[in-house]
Structure 1
Amino acid sequence: MSRIALFGAAGAIGQSIASAIRAQGQPYRVVGRNETSLRQAFGADPLAEIITWDPDSPASVEAAAHGIDTLIYLVGVHYTQFELHPELMRKTLTGAIRAGVKRILLIGTVYPYGLPQSSPIREDHPRQPHTFKGRMRKAQEDLLMQAHEEGHLRAAVLRLPDFYGPGVEASFLHGAIKAAAQGGTADLIGPLDRPHEFVFVPDVGPVVARLVSTPAAFGKVWHLAGAGVTTQKALVAEMERQTGRKLKKRVAGKTMLRLIGLFHPMMRELVEMHYLQTQPVIMDDTALQQLIGPIRKTPYGEGIRMALQAQGGRRS
């Protein structure tokens, strides 16, 4: 019987975590809104138990979490509906506590920090979000950690930077990877020459699998940093080196995002988060490595190669 569940499992990070759990020979449960998506991602795995849920219903949450000890929370919302993050966390906690879930790990972001006051930042950096999305993510974390403090269950947060990898479409690098592999023009958000870090999605799963099996992880927040500080410019240059072709680029800054946002709501939503392009949050994950040991981080050149291959890329 599954004792670990991935809520919001169908995305790239959920599949990375599932792969790591599968490698340990453990059965696991995947929970999502869309059964078709879940079956496409996990239907061939005999260790995967597929369950659908309605995240708006605590009763549905309770049913989906029945018999589960550890819940890994990856539930996404549309980028224009971040007000749902704390609401869905509240309902999930209600149902999970009723179901007897013992532990929840939230896969989080850097949004709650707001503007960085140091670099790199550690887990004790002040959370002072100046954006709506940051406030919603902070409220989500606060609800979870309050449940921990009240003794309802044990909770932890793993914060990730931006990410990329094979088949990962929700990435700032996706447009460039696709254009480098298949041709066309890459849409990027600039400036491209500022320091940044990206985590390679297949690297996330093994870390999460180790983290949830470490009792000392709970009650705290952890960072998983990328494979070092780089720039979008450097990564585009690496794509060009590997494909042997110059990449056509269309780079939008904050002003351009505002203009495009007049017609495209998604672009409008990116404006308030543009500070992460000019004042990036670079993470220190020393504490995590001290807890679980050395972490395998795929070098950017290797990660770009695998991402290009997944898009059908060929060297010219």
Structure 2
Amino acid sequence: MRHVRVALFGAAGAIGQSIAKAFSAHGTPYRVVGRSRDALAAAFGADPLAEIVTWNPDDPASVQAAAAGVDVIVYLVGVNYWQFDLHPRLMKQTLDGAIAAGVKRLVLIGTVYPYGRPRTTPVREEHPREPHTFKGRMRKAQEDLLLAAHAEGRIQATVLRLPDFYGPGVDKSFLHAAFIAAVNGGVANMIGPLDKSHEFVFVPDVGPVVARLTDTPNAYGRVWHLAGAGVTTQRALIEEIEQQIGHRLRVRVAGKTMLRLIGLFNPLMREMVEMHYLLTDPVLMDDSALQGLLGALPKTPYAEGVRRCLAALPQ
């Protein structure tokens, strides 16, 4: 394998593709690492700057080989929502392999889960990490392993926390059902409440920030926030969709009780019950520290993001 400055581990998802586009736009070769060559080829096969590598994270030799010749890893490795216990183990295995391969830096794309219920609004990076959910505890354990490796001088590490996200072609979003209903008709099945404050980051905005972060020495050794394009609500975004398409949407809202019932038959919905607090007690992030580090953080306004999401769907 050739030497590349950066590798995206767990690259095939929406955030990974956004980061890859940012590197590609600057003519920077990059490696994409995942379990499925077919998924990687579908996402990155057309880009001559992309080097496709498959790995088995349970095989130390495979992890080390995937990290060979890399300076920086951006870590986006996902697990099924009902398998969050894998997060710490996969991080440890990746760290061990990366360090053995001589990787200098690792950027974890993280979540707000480790904070638990917010004590303040907005939430700054120094907010206590006191997760009251299993998923939050697993994400915190993942971060602890990484930050301990940094403190021990084994690798330079940082965490970039993102809020919920949306974007063209992004199906793992609270808003996706509304976009589909806007174009195809039918009912938009949403998870409520819809009127509580929330924030969403537009996926294409994430990649350029991560690309800059990887190359900023002062970024390492701490946690950073990238907030959305301002505080909004799901209701406000549904109304924006309605304004742009020129008619009302039919919307069906599931609250926590309904999630429990649906969860009897759907493992994803069952696992969302414990995270429902994020819709009733939202974690709204302050990213002024990241702005101080990198300068201006261009963010797509919600109206423009909605327009681009609608335009990306087959009419």
Equivalent runs, 1:203-222 vs 2, <5 Å: 203-222=205-224
Distance 2:219 2:80 in 1: 29
In structure 2, the partner of 1:238 is 240
Q: Is the Cα–Cα contact under 8 Å of residues 35 and 51 in structure 1 kept in the other structure? A: yes
Residue 188 of structure 1: SS of its match in structure 2?
Answer: strand
In structure 1, the partner of 2:305 is 303
In structure 2, the partner of 1:88 is 90
Distance 2:265 2:100 in 1: 44
Residue 154 of structure 2: SS of its match in structure 1?
Answer: coil
Distance 2:59 2:198 in 1: 38
Shift of 1:264: 1.2
Shift of 1:107: 0.1
In structure 2, the partner of 1:19 is 21
Q: 1:117 aligns with which of 86, 95, 119?
A: 119
Q: Is the Cα–Cα contact under 8 Å of residues 4 and 71 in structure 1 kept in the other structure? A: yes
Shift of 1:312: 2.4
Shift of 1:257: 0.5
Residue 237 of structure 2: SS of its match in structure 1?
Answer: helix
In structure 1, the partner of 2:51 is 49
Q: Is the Cα–Cα contact under 8 Å of residues 70 and 104 in structure 1 kept in the other structure? A: yes
Q: 2:277 aligns with which of 275, 278, 283?
A: 275
In structure 1, the partner of 2:184 is 182
Distance 1:80 1:13 in 2: 21
Distance 1:64 1:233 in 2: 43
Q: TM-score, normalised by structure 1?
A: 0.98
Q: Which amino acid aligns with 2:276?
A: H
Q: Is the Cα–Cα contact under 8 Å of residues 114 and 127 in structure 1 kept in the other structure? A: yes
Distance 1:304 1:279 in 2: 24
Moved over 4 A (4+): none
Residue 275 of structure 2: SS of its match in structure 1?
Answer: coil
Q: 1:157 aligns with which of 156, 159, 175?
A: 159
2:65 is equivalent to residue 63 of structure 1 = yes
Q: Which amino acid aligns with 1:72?
A: V
Distance 1:76 1:248 in 2: 32
Identity %: 70
Unaligned runs of 5+ residues in structure 1 are none
Q: 2:105 aligns with which of 99, 103, 106?
A: 103
2:174 is equivalent to residue 167 of structure 1 = no
Distance 2:10 2:304 in 1: 28
Residues 70-94 of structure 1: per-residue CA shift (max 9 Å, x gap): 0000000000100000010010011
In structure 1, the partner of 2:225 is 223
Residues 192-249 of structure 1: per-residue CA shift (max 9 Å, x gap): 0000000000000000011111000000100000000000000000000001121111
Distance 2:59 2:180 in 1: 38
Distance 1:49 1:283 in 2: 34
Residues 231-284 of structure 1: per-residue CA shift (max 9 Å, x gap): 000000000000112111110000111111111111110000000000000000
The range that moved more, 176-185 or 289-298, is: 176-185
